[in-house]
Chain A
């Protein structure tokens, strides 16, 4: 699963055609970026009916604001930013936190284990996991990983999605989330550490 890659010239052609209300171009834009939008919305929003509404809402916003797109970033980054903002607005209305305070205050990797072990475990406790009986194989790791990502705070799983699955750069992610570059790196580090701890815990405890 990789981020859609269009050259700047192709992006300009596509955007121009969409602005001229070209039906084929509109369908092409949806087809090119549907996977990115859906993946981000699914990472950020838990309720299935709301996810579907938000995905539609994102594309309607994209088309209504496309004339303001100035090509100062990749089209995918701009679309991801709209997706992120739309999802954040929804979460704010639902009073859902993107990141618990306990994770925001999390310090260095050498200090974290004792302070956050309980929080991490509590986050993962509600997940049902198929435990491997033998040596953990990659397919099982992938299943565990999926469960582990779902147990992460919303901000962390969004960053993991953008960086590791959509192949976006730290700079693009900072632009999308409006977070400082170092914060993006720091959060991603913590997210990966939590995921690794989860994999380790299940590998050793349940083998």
Chain B
């Protein structure tokens, strides 16, 4: 098929026509009167339309998540955030309870309570000391946790 001697349009000419190249008058006349060439052109046209209708392939997993987890600077960001925060609060609370328990066991409160009665200044000092201790614990644990995650 498509031998030059019978004037059929070649595949090159048909493809170039679909790519926007104008046919000569003779080629246009031939195409209008030749069922074979018209059928070949139609096949190419169906193919071009088909290209735009092909389904896009998809992955069976979340690509973005998988990539983020493998990126060195993003791994920490993709880890669930609530877990370290919860662990930090739980550890601080536990340490505080242990400190109060040890103080009670050693009888420290027995000597302190009489001093606190009707003594606003002593109460303020005690509260400040407790608050400073809590903050210190939290800061130490925060630094410890961050150094582990880095």
Contacts and interface: CB of A to CB of B under 8 A. Distances in A.
A88 B9 CA distance: 37
A91 interface: no
Contacts of B110: none
A59 interface: yes
Interface of A: 1, 21, 23, 26-27, 30-31, 34-35, 38-39, 42, 51-52, 55-56, 59-60, 63, 109-110, 113, 136, 138-139, 141-142, 145-146, 149, 160, 164-165, 189, 192-193, 195-196, 199-200, 203
Given A27-B68, A192-B47, A145 B63 contact: no
Contacts of B77: 23
Interface of B: 1-4, 10-12, 15, 40, 43-44, 46-61, 63-64, 66-68, 70-71, 73-74, 77
22 contacts: A1-B54, A21-B73, A26-B68, A27-B68, A30-B63, A35-B56, A52-B60, A55-B63, A56-B67, A56-B70, A63-B67, A109-B12, A110-B2, A110-B3, A110-B4, A141-B50, A142-B53, A145-B50, A145-B51, A149-B54, A192-B11, A195-B47
B11 A193 contact: yes
A60 B71 contact: yes
Contacts of B57: 38-39, 42
Majority DSSP secondary structure for residues of A touching B: helix
A199 B43 CA distance: 7
A181 B118 CA distance: 94
A164 B47 CA distance: 10
A192 B44 contact: yes
Contacts of B54: 1, 142, 145-146, 149, 165
